[in-house]
């Protein structure tokens, strides 16, 4: 297999780059991305997403791995793997444009006998009903006659250094039994924990989207519990700690659901189900509840300020963290922004600090200025400190030293020592 395949991975983000680097350890591999600056940075041996450490990337480049924005560089490949984002629009409807554009790119370079494999998360049917007809149209080739297809959904968890791409068990599928076997063997050749070959492309698509939808529903349940117990004056984390002593209790914590997977993917299945005349009520309610948690937390903080005598209007507030999860630079669809916006209705004196986030990306995406370091000058004291993201750098922070005498601490993640916290989700 090493001698037969030349692989091109289209899309070098959080999913595509780790995958391309992994395949490059056994096969001639090229990473393709339209972002010229991104490609230049990668060819210098630096990954801004931090999903591939610089040493591993530099080693891969020395061994022949190439990143390019030139279509000519991928024309002689025979395996094309598409790993581009699948976002939703402002009305939470699936936006397939990145996927269609990537399919057009494949259509320009694919040849007879080649295979295109999709990794992007989609609702069942997108690969065969939307993507492959686009490849056919652009290339002039016939699907399952001149070229073939597979689907192997990504399972990357941004910032997770334990479940890295080579350790993830991957679901695979193919457009014919023979192609399914080939795609399965291709992935199995670079994965430590092997693969699971699904019975069809649609089954593989569906399996991925329910992974994230299930997690979304489970988080919505504990978020609703948090709302109930907050009204009752009961500490939600104490309740969960007690309940988790039962052997089959699913132990999850309340929190913000952001990022590009759990907060987005369920909308794809919801939309497709409605086309078939079915409204998925549990999934829809879970999305609605989780989408509103940032605003809910913001109002909980205001309620805490009022209770403790902190004047809300023009209060000095420090928010610790803006990425969508801890120890990760990813700010896509972060719900910390909803907390910020709710508090900003009452005060413009809000400082946001995050040692992981890129200030230019946050400014461009959310029009919020952030600092990598905390302004802890003696004259700068805060009325409120909000721990929004559980970055490791915040663990030993002397938060009480940053507060005014009557200042309060709100812990969204139940990350800080309980004795210094005045309120938590």
The residues annotated with a catalytic role in the active site are: 261
Q: Rounded distance, CA 27 to CA 43, Å?
A: 18
Alpha-carbon distances, residue 151 vs 5, 128, 131 (angstroms):
17, 10, 11
Closest CA to 336 of 233, 410, 235: 410
**Chain mean position to CA 94:** 16
What long-range pairs does 283-289 form, CB within 8 A, spacing at least 24? 283/213, 283/216, 283/217, 285/220, 286/216, 286/217, 286/219, 286/220, 286/221, 287/92, 287/216, 287/220, 287/263, 289/220, 289/223, 289/224
Tell me which residue of 17, 19, 25, 15 sits closest to 59, measured CA to CA. Answer: 25
């Amino acid at each position: 297999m090493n001698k037969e395949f030349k692989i091109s991975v289209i899309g070098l983000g959080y999913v595509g780059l780790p995958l391309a680097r992994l395949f490059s350890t056994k096969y001639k591999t090229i990473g393709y991305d339209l972002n010229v600056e991104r490609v230049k940075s990668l060819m210098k041996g630096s990954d801004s997403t931090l999903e591939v450490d610089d040493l591993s990337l530099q080693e891969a480049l020395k061994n022949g791995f190439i990143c390019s924005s030139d279509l000519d560089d991928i024309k002689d490949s025979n395996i094309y793997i598409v790993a581009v984002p699948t976002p939703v629009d402002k009305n939470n409807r699936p936006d397939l444009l990145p996927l269609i554009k990537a399919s057009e790119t494949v259509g320009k370079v694919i040849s007879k006998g080649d295979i295109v494999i999709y990794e992007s998360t989609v609702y069942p049917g997108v690969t065969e009903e939307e993507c492959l007809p686009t490849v056919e149209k652009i290339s002039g080739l016939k699907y399952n006659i001149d070229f073939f297809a597979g689907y192997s959904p990504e399972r990357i968890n941004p910032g997770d250094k334990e479940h890295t791409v080579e350790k993830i068990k991957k679901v695979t599928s193919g457009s014919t039994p023979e192609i399914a076997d080939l795609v399965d063997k291709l992935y199995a050749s670079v994965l430590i924990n092997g693969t699971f070959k699904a019975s069809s492309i649609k089954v593989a698509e569906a399996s991925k989207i329910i992974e994230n939808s299930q997690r979304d529903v489970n988080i919505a349940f504990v978020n609703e519990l948090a709302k109930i117990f907050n009204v009752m004056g009961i500490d939600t984390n104490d309740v969960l700690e007690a309940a988790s002593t039962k052997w089959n209790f699913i132990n999850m914590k309340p929190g913000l659901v952001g990022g590009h997977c759990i907060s987005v993917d369920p909308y794809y299945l919801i939309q497709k189900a409605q086309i078939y005349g079915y409204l998925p009520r549990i999934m829809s309610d879970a999305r609605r509840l989780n989408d509103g948690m940032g605003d809910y937390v913001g109002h909980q903080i205001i309620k805490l300020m009022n209770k403790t005598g902190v004047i809300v209007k023009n209060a000095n507030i420090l928010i610790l963290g803006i990425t969508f999860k801890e120890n990760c630079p990813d700010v896509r669809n972060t719900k910390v922004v909803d907390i910020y916006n709710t508090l900003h209705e009452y005060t413009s004196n809000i400082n946001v600090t995050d040692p992981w986030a890129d200030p230019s990306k946050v400014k461009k995406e959310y029009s919020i200025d952030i600092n990598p370091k905390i302004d802890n000058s003696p004259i700068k004291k805060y009325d409120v400190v909000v721990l929004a993201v559980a970055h490791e750098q915040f663990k030993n922070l002397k938060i009480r030293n940053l507060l005014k005498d009557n200042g309060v601490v709100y812990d969204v993640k139940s990350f800080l020592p309980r004795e210094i916290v005045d309120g938590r989700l």
